[in-house]
Amino acid sequence: MDSNQKAWPASRIVHLPGGCLASNYSDSPVIFLPESLTGGSVEYEISEYHELAKLFCDLNMTVIGVDYFQSQQEIDGIVPPVWKALNLIDGKFCSINDLADVWSNIGHSAYIKKDGRLWDISSRISHQLNVCSWRLSELSTKYQQQLKARTLQGKFKIGQLFIDLNTWHVYLSIQAFLVDACVLRDYLAEFVNYFVVSQKYNLDLSITSMGGLLKGINKIEIDDLVLTYIKESAAPRGWLKKLGEYRDLVVHSAPLAKAEQKLFVVSSELDIGTQYKLPSIICPIPDNPKEIAASRSKGNFFENFEKQIGLFNKAANMDIPSTDGLVYAHSVVGNLYKFAHMLVDESPVIPKRMTFDESNIISDIEIKYE
């Protein structure tokens, strides 16, 4: 590095779809992993720290999130790196982790105001935003482990369906994400009930879940931006509707890894520019969770096991509609970001960051340098 060049604030590992990665240490090139299908590593040069975001926009690539390594302890694995889930929204990378800080600041303002209900709900929303972000990181890491195992064994072949000891962990991570995403969904619904429906329109629905909120607001005709958004998102083709159906399948009907008897992984490829492709994987989840849950409850799911296996094989081969688990989870995080960001404007208090001074420090501070 040039002695006059300012040191970059962090080294970064970018999580990409399919278990692929891109590393960028200090002023080194951006290196994509695993090696390309045509052989050799793929590298892109960037001259400034903030050019990394532009690179992925130019390549038209989805970024799942980024690990930031800011100390040697993080590099050595003593403490975890800073993780941020990222979604490209209106041409800008937005992080649900940053939004969690905003909701934490709402909680701090509520604490100062002694508004216990707002403090409780906003604190839980902040926590669960971070939980959903972490679940996405966990899922992406499981994809990486699955892909690495396949490529190191020299068994990678595009279009091949396979299952090994890593596969169960991948689908278990998808299931955990779905459950926690719906916990956040219900926290946001609880906020809407008390601070939109109740305070703005003097209606007390007394609910703490999205299902209860929908039953209440569908009975009233109010021209409200938030309530309209919720109704549209919960419509048959809305993202809230689909999320709820996946959650109901894994909680009330069957664990996701048993939802269609066998869930396979598919060897695929990821475009990183016009001439490069990386080995990657797809973990298809059923695109019809509501129908699967219904068939199980009626009993006709069990009438022909071979037919059910055949249906999922078709889903894995993309012959019938299916959805990649990681890509779907990433899209849900983006939608949860938009929803929670919209509700910030409905807060009765302005977010205020906690500061430390003579008014709230109760003892001497000792700083140690190691």
**pLDDT of the residue at 140:** 98
Residue at 55 is within a domain:
no
Express each pLDDT in 296-310 by its tens digit.
545 554 444 444 445
- Which pTM was predicted? 0.88
Express each pLDDT in 197-255 by its tens digit.
988 887 777 788 999 999 888 888 888 999 999 999 999 889 999 999 888 877 765 55
Nearest to 287 by CA among 251, 254, 260, 255: 260
Distance between start and end Cα atoms, the chain: 27
Q: Where are the alpha helices (DSSP H) in 234-270?
A: 239-248
Number of domains in the chain: 1
Express each pLDDT in 21-76 by its tens digit.
999 987 789 999 999 887 778 999 998 999 999 999 999 999 999 999 998 899 88
Position 339 pLDDT exceeds 90: yes
Nearest to 349 by CA among 112, 174, 153, 140: 112
**pLDDT of the residue at 2:** 45
CB 123 within 8 A of CB 362: no
Range of the domain at 253: 95-344
Residue at 151 is within a domain:
yes
**pLDDT of the residue at 255:** 54
CB 352 within 8 A of CB 109: yes
Beta-sheet strands, E only, within 272-366: 277-282, 284-286, 322-324
Express each pLDDT in 121-146 by its tens digit.
999 999 999 999 999 999 999 999 99
